[in-house]
Amino acid sequence: MENPKPANRIEVADIFREFGRQYRISHNLPDNIIKVMHNIERCRTSFFGGHVDQCDECEFKRISYNSCGDRNCPKCGMLAKEKWLEQRKRELLPVPYYHIVFTIPQQLNDLAMYNPEIIYRILFRSAKETLIKLGKDAKHLGADIGAISVLHTWGQNLSFHPHLHCIVPGGGLSEDGKKWLYPKKSKKKKKFFVHVNVISDLFKKVFLYYLKWELNDGSLKGLENKGQISKLLNTLYKIKWITYCKKPFGGPKQVLEYICRYTHRVAISNNRIIKIEKGRVFFKWRDYKDGNKVKIMSLEADEFIRRFLMHILPSGFMKIHYFGILASRNKKTKLARCQEIFGVKTILKEDEEKISWQERFHILTGIDLLCCPKCKKGKMCLKEKIEPLKRAPS
């Protein structure tokens, strides 16, 4: 029978299997983090069960073990990402799209690590309110806008760097719903409907408003006394907050492809890991500050695991948010109206044609999983199901 794992490939799962148990003993980890580690270790193993397929021509057999389905697993998510991308492409309008990045200052990193759910929620809410308020402002646009925002927390070296990537259509639906309004300054300067400094300043004010509310409520961990709180707030008010805004190259489909790098990916992909040697993990990373050069970094296994686990989101927290005309509740009304204005065929179907995961995999990779890999003539048919283990192996 065929072994489904390629030889000599090091994966995050291998690092967890070799060093994960000792890491869990040495650190007081929450249950959701432990569950993620176990899922990654056992992904595509007999623990989750699977099936045996057999060729109807040459009787060749192949074992396929089930994926864990965990959104933090480097081996899972490809098919979900492509399905998400197809759905978003059907919602595109024939207008310029802009890529906006909202970043919190590094002075908030420790607070975010102690209180990820609260800080991430404030980040999403502040970006949403900033864009909607500026969009409705008549001196900038005076319309209902929309956006897709995706939370991204890591740098290439697995450092902690929380920020939002947003896709924003260039314009919005007029208040009366009769026409699409373009930014007043877009034709001359080819800029977004408001200067990036205006976005940054308002985002900073909104974020700090909600942060102060949480601080006064006593909801945040990591700040021991009022002196620390006052010092942090004073620093945050004084410094400049970084917001990036640029019209994407190529068009809206290209920016969707770009943002897909973050929607269903994790802190590091398996293909970046080179080897494990003498308790250290070696992996490739791209140094953006040095001309995008690809370099090799090595970390102690414990440090590699620590950095990877920093980017696991709180249980149930959604890393993709939609708002304005792209919010779920508005897709059949405001977004449909925008498509009608542009004469775009509405294809927001609930009963879209379903295809199997094998067919989707074939479309994406060109690999036909139903074709026998040995004789190339027969069809692989289900021979036997492998039930999941009822308990974890010791």
How far apart CA 243 and CA 297 sit, in angstroms, is 29
- Counted domains in the chain: 2
Amino acid (one-letter) located at 240: K
Q: Among all chains, which residue has been given the structure tokens 């109807």? A: 56
Q: What is the pLDDT of residues 33-52, one digit of tens each?
A: 999 999 999 999 999 999 99
User: Are both 68 and 104 inside the same structural domain?
Assistant: no
User: Are both 187 and 130 inside the same structural domain?
Assistant: yes
Query: With contact defined as beta carbons under 8 Å apart, do 325 and 136 qualify?
Result: no
**Residue (of 15, 30, 37) closest to 300 by Cα position:** 15
Amino acid (one-letter) located at 279: G
| DSSP 8-state code for residue 8 | T
User: Are both 259 and 191 inside the same structural domain?
Assistant: yes
User: Are both 152 and 185 inside the same structural domain?
Assistant: yes
User: Are both 160 and 134 inside the same structural domain?
Assistant: yes
Amino acid (one-letter) located at 109: N
**What is the band of 7 on the pLDDT scale with cuts at 50, 70, 90?**
very low
**What is the band of 351 on the pLDDT scale with cuts at 50, 70, 90?**
very low
User: Are both 238 and 132 inside the same structural domain?
Assistant: yes
Burial class (CB in 10 A: 0-12, 13-18, 19+), 132: middle
How far apart CA 295 and CA 316 sit, in angstroms, is 35
How far apart CA 113 and CA 126 sit, in angstroms, is 19
Amino acid (one-letter) located at 44: R
pLDDT average, residue stretch 287-313: 95
Q: What is the pLDDT, as a whole number, of residue 10?
A: 93
pLDDT average, residue stretch 26-31: 95
Got the DSSP string for 293-350? EEEEEEEEHHHHHHHHHHTPPPTT--SEEEEETTSGGGIIIIIHHHHHHHTPPP---S
Query: With contact defined as beta carbons under 8 Å apart, do 108 and 76 qualify?
Result: no
Asked, for residue 136, whether it belongs to a domain, the answer is: yes
User: Are both 202 and 322 inside the same structural domain?
Assistant: yes
Asked, for residue 131, whether it belongs to a domain, the answer is: yes
For the cut 80, the answer to whether the pLDDT of residue 146 exceeds it is yes
User: Are both 127 and 51 inside the same structural domain?
Assistant: no
Q: What is the pLDDT, as a whole number, of residue 36?
A: 97
Asked, for residue 161, whether it belongs to a domain, the answer is: yes
User: Are both 111 and 209 inside the same structural domain?
Assistant: yes
Domain extent, residue 49, equals: 12-73+358-386
Query: With contact defined as beta carbons under 8 Å apart, do 208 and 199 qualify?
Result: no
